[in-house]
Amino acid sequence: MISKLRSLFNKTFDAIIPLFATLLALFLGVFMLKALGKDPLAAYAALFEGAFGSQRAIIQTIIKATPLLLVGIGVCIAFRGGVINIGGEGQIIVGALASAAFALYVPIQSRWIMIPLCLLTSMLAGAIWGGVPGILKAKLGVNEILTTVMMNSIAVYLSNFLLRGPMIDPHEIEMGTRAAQTALLPEYTFLTRLAPPTQLNTGTILALILAGVAFVMLFKTTIGYRIRAVGKSADASRYAGIKVPFYQALALILGGSMAGLAGGIEVLGVQHRVMENISANYGFNGIVTALFGSLHPLGTIPAAFLFGGLMVGGNKLQRTVQVHSAFIDTLLGIIVLFVVAAKIFSTRRSKKRAING
Amino acid sequence: MLKKNSIVVLFIIAILAMAALPVAAADDVFQVAMIMPSKINDYSFSQSMYEALKVLESTFPEGGFELVYSEDMFNVADAREAIRDYADMGYDLVIAHGSQYGTSLQEIAPDYPETAFAWGNGTEFYGQPNISVYQARAEQGGYVFGQVAAKYTNNGKLGVCGPVESGDAKTYIDGFKNGASEAGSPVSVTYTSSFSDVSLMSAAAQTHMDEGATLLTGTSQSIPGAVSVVKENNGIWMGVQWDTIPLAPENVLVSLVYDWSPILNDIVSNMKEGSFGGRAYDLTFKDGGLKFVWNTENMEIDPELIAMADDLAAKITAGEISPLPAQ
Amino acid sequence: MDNLFNPETIFGIIGMAVTLAMPYLYAAIGELFDQTAGCYNLGTEGIMMMGAFSAFYVVYETGNLGFGVLAAAIVGLLMGLIMAVISVTFKAEQGISGIGLTMFGVGLSSLLFKTLLNGTVLSVKGFKSIRIPILGDIPYIGDAFFNHNIMVYVAYLLIPIASIILYKTTLGLKIRAVGQNPQAADTLGVSVNKIRYLCVCGGAILAGIAGATFSIANINMFQEKMTNGTGYIAVALVYFSGWKPWRVLLGALLFSFVNALQLRMQVLGINIPSDIAMMMPYLLTIVTLIFVKSRDKPAALAVPYERSEN
């Protein structure tokens, strides 16, 4: 009984720490808002209202949370394998481009064939974009931070090239506006919308399922066990006969495919075409999301919801009290720093618990 | 355990939320909201619209006009939510100032028949009675500037610092190239493939000048980087979209300013008559939407040059000159 | 193509590469110290933006370039302290702390710009080029290498200085020991945390100055997000270098040279799609690593040090 109570207390404690950190960051934001001459209460009310205050707000938050969740799952897998994937931005972009290209240029007019194939194409593209760093790390020991940073930039330029050249909407040339975007995808490739007129679509369900799949894969299968073993201790794994480079590359490839899928869903479910800035910083924010979720695929679900809410609410805050958008960026930065620093308290307690038995 | 996290956060924020009261907007105020991918002071596309709205504000009585805006809406999903939210909050006119927002408006506008929407650069109002669409015919200005630049430099080398090879940046540059080469000046063009890379923009400008160009032009919010190089090297700059003279008063010969006022005025007066859109506007020399701002205050400019520019603009308006080369 | 292969053009490209490499050198040498001591700092981009703004603001207000650099250094130090507290004392995951620091720095610099300067793009008089006597008069070479501003020369001096500190001094030995085997270093009486604080803060000072080079030693103006990803590239260059100062130089110059080259090719009208041209430096950095091995990673990189209790 007492041990149960204690474990409950410990769990609550662990859950409260990041919350406390977030609140502390928001509290710091009060002073910033005061300094900017804005009413902090009105501002935070807008933040909350914009994120969770109405049905539409919650749906917006979920739409935003979907790519964050997928990228976050990818980051979890990579992280558990001891590699950090900061190539999410590039992987989203190529995933988006690949699925759009497939949807636009493959003339099979069947939803049941096209949608799965489009999504698979986006995963494949993301896997390749994550695979290059993965294989370079496995074969040549090239650090993945280096390659993923470079691959991000390459993807942006590739996208600029395709969107203004080979893949540009022919209509844009005809009209002389030349906006860098693809044509609207054919309707049979659209993911089903769950709550029109919002863009909430079946992609969210797929993302949730994949969070479960990633959890099972990581914690209930041999592959997952090996990925985690490699992440925990590469040396020990090597002694145990696990092919360390292979599993590190695999972790990056799987991570890349998740981010690529985020791009595919963004295109088929939300935008219905590719335009500039399709990745919208989801690649970096997904890393933060994964951290909020303790680098656990299931934990990433509420984390994505919360972080998505902060972003959606931040925009509302900007609209309502007309505060500069940089305030939101700064505030999110402070929240991340506080949450990541606060982890030490739960780590310390769990260590103590381990020692005390 | 993590779900608990979010619930507690929700709870606490909810308490905060209750403390604040929603503010109702007065009915007799003309409320305008603007959504843009960049900033109100980017010396380019966004600023041109913002300043036009400021001018519009001055035509209203004190307190009769409210302007709000969302900057940095480069993510279309965020922009779409902003557009919908402003419409929801009862803004009379919602301006989606970016070509990437067209599809979003097409979806949203039918749900808010009482709200007027405007967007650009674009050419289509999607058959909606409450969408106005506008497009800057940048190639017109580009052509005249090409001619002016060739004359000013006596057919010297010209350099163009472009961002991404798309949108009105591309049409301006194509017009400029055409105008300059018709007048006999060699033109070289660089693109940095980014709207915001100031440092590369400045390196591009430096490269143009190293290769002997003395007069440069370019567009996007990253041009301050290029103007700074022109200033250091005592070159000449021609600005587009918004007045760049403040960036380098001694070096900017002329700016091609997008003046959206005529279009905005038309939209507003139509709104007063109960017509919320269904029109497509072109920003051209014809209606005074494309304007030259000559730096006569700080530089000695040959009046003939100014006359030539006006003459060319008139000829373009009359259809005697086609600013873009025949395809 | 012919007009590309004349000495004037080639040395022109080199001269531009020498300038373009400057911010990478400051930021990457700073990051090199961090990483050698076992911490990596993805917050470089944010620190650079804060450095760029504070240097610009101080120069704009006082007109004194020295104060500008000093301001960037101090702000860099403060940002470094935040990073050090979080990653050394609180032992947080460094990659994520760095990303948080970047969000914070990029956001705060924009916010300050909006608040203090009303978001208006202004310019200042930055560092002027100094032609070095005799060397500067050598045809072509003089212009390419010996006609830059003081911040550029200092950037290149950092390479030998970093080499000497890391490989010829006791401090360098301690730094490397802390990065390779903190337990052993601790046993020998080296304070792991002190060395890491020193390196993270020192590295951040250099990152702050790297930002300042944008706003007062090259473009001489401030705009939001003007470093545009340079900080991440600088971190990548440290991995490229295999933690050797002279290879940081090599990487920064290679990257900048290809950038300068592709711009020149565009100006000369050599027909390559601009976006593909822009890709070249990034592609080449990756391709180079296929041929040039980069190993010797500090063994304790990214591992927070926990003193064992027993």
Reduced to 3 states (helix: H, G, I; strand: E, B; else coil), residue B110 is: helix
Asked if B46 and B179 sit in the same domain, the reply is no
Write the ipTM: 0.91
Asked if B50 and B177 sit in the same domain, the reply is no
pLDDT of residue B8: 54
Please list, residue by residue across B94-115, b when 16 or more beta carbons sit within 10 angstroms of its beta carbon and e when fewer do. Answer: bbbbbbbbbbbbbbbbeebeeb
Asked if B265 and B144 sit in the same domain, the reply is no
Say if CB B100 and CB B37 are below 8 A apart: yes
Which of C253, C213, C200 lies closest to C85, judged by CA? Answer: C200
Asked if B150 and B118 sit in the same domain, the reply is no
pLDDT of residue B5: 56
Q: How much is the average pLDDT of A299-316?
A: 92
**pLDDT of B59-100, one tens digit each?**
999 889 999 999 888 888 889 889 999 998 899 999 999 988
How much is the mean pLDDT over chain B?
89
**pLDDT of B251-277, one tens digit each?**
999 999 999 999 999 999 999 999 999
Instruction: Tell me: pLDDT of B18 over 50.
Output: no
CATH code (residue B115): 3.40.50.2300
Report the gap between the CA of A15 and the closest CA in chain B (Å). 6
Task: Tell me the two tokens of residue C191.
Answer: 């304070």
Instruction: Tell me: pLDDT of B12 over 60.
Output: no
Instruction: Tell me: pLDDT of C11 over 50.
Output: yes
Residue C177 belongs to some domain of the structure: yes
User: For residue B121, how many C-alpha atoms fall within 13 Å in the half-sphere facing its CB?
Assistant: 25
pLDDT of residue B14: 47
Instruction: Tell me: pLDDT of C1 over 80.
Output: no
Phi, psi torsion values for A125, nearest 5 degrees: -60, -45
A 10 A CB-CB count for B49 gives 25
pLDDT of residue B2: 46
Of A42, A50, A176, Cβ closest to residue B20: A42
List, as ranges, residues 189-248 from C with C-beta within 8 Å of A.
224, 229, 232-233, 235-237, 239-240
Q: What is the DSSP letter of A189?
A: G
Instruction: Tell me: pLDDT of A253 over 70.
Output: yes
Cα–Cα distance for residue pair B48/B43, rounded to 1 Å:
8
Residue C127 belongs to some domain of the structure: no
Confidence band of A344 (pLDDT split at 50, 70, 90): confident
Three state DSSP letters for C139-155: CCHHHHHCEEEHHHHHH
Residue B15 belongs to some domain of the structure: no
Q: Fold for A64-321, please state it.
A: ABC transporter involved in vitamin B12 uptake, BtuC (1.10.3470)
Asked if B144 and B279 sit in the same domain, the reply is no
What domain range is B45 assigned to? Answer: 29-136+260-283
pLDDT of residue A30: 94
Q: Crossing angle for the helix pair C274-291 and A111-140, nearest 10 degrees?
A: 40
Asked if B218 and B125 sit in the same domain, the reply is no
Tell whether the torsion through CA atoms of A324, A329, A334 and A335 is positive or negative: positive
A 10 A CB-CB count for B315 gives 14
pLDDT of residue B13: 52
pLDDT of residue B6: 54
Confidence band of C253 (pLDDT split at 50, 70, 90): very high
Residue C302 belongs to some domain of the structure: no
Percent of chain A exceeding pLDDT 90 equals 67
Residue B22 belongs to some domain of the structure: no
Instruction: Tell me: pLDDT of A1 over 70.
Output: no
Confidence band of B7 (pLDDT split at 50, 70, 90): low
Q: How much is the average pLDDT of A79-102?
A: 95
Asked if B42 and B54 sit in the same domain, the reply is yes
CATH code (residue C74): 1.10.3470
Of C232, C279, C289, Cβ closest to residue A140: C289
How much is the mean pLDDT over chain C?
91
**pLDDT of A177-217, one tens digit each?**
888 899 999 999 999 999 887 889 999 999 999 999 999 99
Asked if B102 and B154 sit in the same domain, the reply is no
Instruction: Tell me: pLDDT of B326 over 70.
Output: yes
Which of B291, B292, B293, B294 lies closest to B263, judged by CA? Answer: B291
**pLDDT of A41-79, one tens digit each?**
999 999 999 999 999 899 999 999 999 999 999 999 999
pLDDT of residue B23: 41
Q: In chain B, how many domains are there? A: 2
Task: Tell me the two tokens of residue A125.
Answer: 């593209």
Residue B204 belongs to some domain of the structure: yes
Reduced to 3 states (helix: H, G, I; strand: E, B; else coil), residue B297 is: coil
pLDDT of residue A334: 94
Interchain contact, A164 vs B17, CB within 8 Å: no
Instruction: Tell me: pLDDT of A293 over 80.
Output: yes
Asked if B222 and B184 sit in the same domain, the reply is yes
Asked if B253 and B230 sit in the same domain, the reply is yes
Instruction: Tell me: pLDDT of B26 over 70.
Output: no
pLDDT of residue B17: 46
Residue B144 belongs to some domain of the structure: yes
Chain B partners within 8 Å of A12 (Cβ):
4
A 10 A CB-CB count for C174 gives 21
Residue C171 belongs to some domain of the structure: yes
Instruction: Tell me: pLDDT of B21 over 50.
Output: no
Instruction: Tell me: pLDDT of B141 over 50.
Output: yes
Partners of chain C (3+ Cβ pairs below 8 A): A, B
Q: In chain C, how many domains are there? A: 1
Of C106, C239, C285, Cβ closest to residue A329: C106
Q: How much is the average pLDDT of B217-223?
A: 91
Residue C132 belongs to some domain of the structure: no
List, as ranges, residues 177-236 from A with C-beta within 8 Å of C.
none
